[in-house]
């Protein structure tokens, strides 16, 4: 009997170790994500590979894949090789932490936007400088919702973010409001009538005032596809933040349809935030 117990324990330990190894190798049985971190413009430290190692953002996504056991992520900085219709057929979500005009042929990019995403109903997750990508190509910025227009709040800025929908899976880790040190974008080609804003810069509680709304995260329906964008992620330490990782996981779960969350546009919220920002700016100017 004792021998049988020992044998059983060995077998269990073997199965567990093999299971852990499988999880590390395959990162879950569910969805596959292609994480594109190629830079054709400014290259962020978070997506800079050194010494043959994955970049910090790529490592974070690999770790999130293993810990969640929900998806597998493949990282690429070679869109000529990997961003093709044949390869994209293997993925449910494409994630961009990119910049500039990537060397993707126009017909491939159009197919990705109009067929893979809009007609076939896949998911797109953009983080930080994904809005600084193809910013002169209207079909792309029409998909993502806006384009980078500078960052008055630089990487060392301590800012307050208002969470408009705390129960949305993207927002749930943050609560009603939070402070963070990160670079915050403002946008042009902004289309509040097409997106649902989930988080915004709180202009009243942020030192540098500006008389306009600064959205920080939003989602939208794009044909049969879904789009989520989160502007946070400039700093490497943000990618180590457990709440940021859970925010990304919430976005992935939402894109896959595993958790509910409205994508109904809320332009009235943007209008209200714009008014608040103008009032905060005017008050600050009057005190000078």
Radius of gyration of the CA atoms of the chain, in A? 21
Cα–Cα distance measured from residue 283 to residue 280, given in angstroms and rounded to the nearest whole number: 5
Q: Tell whether 53 is covered by a domain.
A: yes
Distance of CA 20 to the CA centre of its chain: 27
Q: Tell whether 268 is covered by a domain.
A: yes
pLDDT for the residue 249: 98
Q: Tell whether 158 is covered by a domain.
A: yes
| In contact, 34 and 95? CB cutoff 8 Å | yes
Q: Tell whether 234 is covered by a domain.
A: yes
pLDDT in tens, 169-188: 999 999 999 999 999 999 99
Cα–Cα distance measured from residue 188 to residue 249, given in angstroms and rounded to the nearest whole number: 27
Q: Tell whether 10 is covered by a domain.
A: no
Q: Which parts of the chain register pLDDT below 50?
A: 1-28
| In contact, 127 and 93? CB cutoff 8 Å | no
pLDDT in tens, 104-153: 999 999 999 999 999 999 999 999 999 999 999 999 999 999 999 999 99
Distance of CA 48 to the CA centre of its chain: 17
- Indicate the helix (H) or strand (E) that contains 127: strand 123-127
Range of the domain at 160: 31-287
Residue with tokens 């792309």: 140
**Domains of the chain: total:** 1
Q: Tell whether 141 is covered by a domain.
A: yes
Residue 178: how many CB atoms within 10 A of its CB? 16
Q: Tell whether 110 is covered by a domain.
A: yes
| In contact, 157 and 184? CB cutoff 8 Å | yes
pLDDT for the residue 30: 81
pLDDT in tens, 62-73: 999 999 999 999
Q: What is the CATH number of the domain that holds 44?
A: 3.40.50.880
Q: Tell whether 89 is covered by a domain.
A: yes
- Output the six-digit token pair for 113: 């936007």
């Amino acid at each position: 009997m004792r021998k049988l117990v020992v044998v059983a324990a060995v077998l269990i330990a073997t199965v567990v170790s093999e299971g852990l190894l499988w999880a590390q190798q395959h990162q879950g049985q569910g969805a596959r994500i292609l994480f594109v971190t190629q830079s054709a413009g400014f290259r962020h430290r978070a997506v800079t590979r050194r010494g043959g190692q994955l970049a910090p953002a790529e490592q974070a996504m690999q770790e999130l894949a293993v810990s969640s056991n929900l998806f597998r992520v493949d990282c690429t900085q070679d869109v000529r090789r990997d961003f093709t219709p044949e390869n994209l057929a293997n993925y449910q979500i494409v994630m961009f932490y990119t910049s500039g005009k990537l060397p993707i042929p126009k017909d491939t990019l159009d197919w990705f936007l109009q067929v893979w995403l809009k007609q076939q109903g896949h998911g797109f997750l953009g983080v930080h400088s994904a809005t600084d990508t193809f910013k002169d190509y209207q079909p792309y910025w029409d998909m993502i919702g806006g384009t980078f227009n500078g960052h008055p709040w630089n990487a060392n800025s301590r800012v307050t973010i208002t969470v408009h929908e705390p129960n949305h899976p993207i927002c749930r880790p943050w609560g009603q409001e939070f402070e963070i040190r990160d670079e915050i974008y403002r946008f042009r080609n902004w289309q509040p009538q097409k997106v649902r804003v989930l988080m915004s810069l709180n202009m009243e509680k942020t030192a540098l005032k500006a008389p306009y709304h600064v959205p920080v995260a939003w989602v939208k329906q794009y044909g049969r596809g879904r789009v989520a964008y989160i502007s946070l992620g400039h700093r490497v330490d943000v990618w180590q933040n457990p709440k940021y990782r859970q925010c990304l996981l919430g976005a992935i779960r939402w894109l896959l349809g595993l958790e509910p969350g409205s994508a109904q546009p809320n332009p009235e919220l943007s209008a209200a935030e714009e008014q608040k920002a103008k009032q905060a700016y005017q008050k600050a100017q009057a005190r000078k």
